[in-house]
A = this chain, B = another copy of it.
Amino acid sequence: MAETIIKVDLKESPYTNEKIHNRWHPDIPMAVKVKPGDDFKIECYDWTGGQIENNDDAADVRDVDLSQVHFLSGPVGVEGAEPGDLLVVDILDIGAFDESLWGFNGFFSKKNGGGFLTDHFPEAQKSIWDINGMFTKSRHVPGVEYAGLIHPGLIGCLPSKELLDEWNTREKALYDTEPDRTPALATLPYAETAHMGTMQGDAKEKAAAEGARTVPPREHGGNCDIKDLSRGSKIYFPVYVKDAGLSVGDLHFSQGDGEITFCGAIEMAGWIHLRVNLIKGGMEKYAIKNPIFKPSPITPKYDDYLIFEGISVDEGGKQHYLDVHVAYRQACLNAINYLEKFGYSRAQAYAILGTAPVQGHISGVVDIPNACATLWLPTDIFEFNVQPGADGPTVELDGSVQVPLAPDLE
**A-side interface residues toward B, CB under 8 Å?**
1-2, 39, 86, 91-93, 98-99, 101, 115-116, 132-135, 147, 166, 170-171, 173-174, 183-187, 215-219, 221, 223-228, 231-232, 236, 257-262, 264, 273, 275, 279-282, 285-311, 313, 317-325, 328, 330-331, 334, 337-338, 340-341, 359-374, 380, 387-390, 392-393
Contact = CB atoms under 8 A, between A and B. Distances in A.
Contacts of A292: 306-309, 334, 338, 388
A186 to B, nearest CB: 4
A100 to B, nearest CB: 9
Contact of A174 (B224, B301, B321): B321
Contact of A318 (B170, B288, B331): B170
Contact of A390 (B232, B279, B317, B323): B279
Contact of A380 (B183, B286, B297, B320): B297
Given A221-B309, A259-B367, 5 more contacts: A184-B368, A226-B307, A279-B388, A303-B303, A324-B324
Contact of A368 (B216, B359, B363, B388): B216
Chain A contact residues: over half helix, strand or loop, or mixed?
A: loop
A365 B285 contact: no
Contacts of A134: 92-93, 231-232, 298
B298 A338 contact: no
Given A297-B380, A363-B225, A311 B388 contact: no
Contacts of A308: 290, 292
A92 B366 contact: no
Contacts of A115: 366
Nearest to A275: B132
Contact of A228 (B186, B307, B341, B389): B307
Contacts of A325: 322-325, 365, 371
15 contacts: A1-B98, A39-B132, A215-B368, A218-B370, A224-B367, A279-B390, A285-B393, A287-B334, A287-B338, A289-B334, A292-B309, A294-B306, A301-B303, A303-B303, A362-B373
Given A337-B287, A338-B287, A340-B287, A260 B135 contact: no
A161 to B, nearest CB: 17
A367 B337 CA distance: 25
Contacts of A328: 324, 362, 365
B225 A390 contact: no
A39 B294 CA distance: 34
Instruction: Please name the 6 residue pairs, one residue from A and one from B, whose CB atoms are nearest each other, closest first.
Output: A92-B133, A93-B133, A324-B324, A360-B362, A216-B370, A287-B337
A317 B166 contact: yes
Contacts of A287: 334, 337-338, 340-341
Contact of A366 (B227, B264, B296): B264
Nearest to A100: B1
Contacts of A260: 365-366
A292 B305 CA distance: 10
Contacts of A297: 147, 300-302, 380
A365 B317 contact: no
B132 A216 contact: no
Q: Which of A259, A295, A297 counts the most chain B CB atoms within 10 A?
A: A297
B303 A226 contact: no
A175 to B, nearest CB: 8
A369 B171 contact: yes
Contacts of A133: 2, 39, 91-93, 231, 273
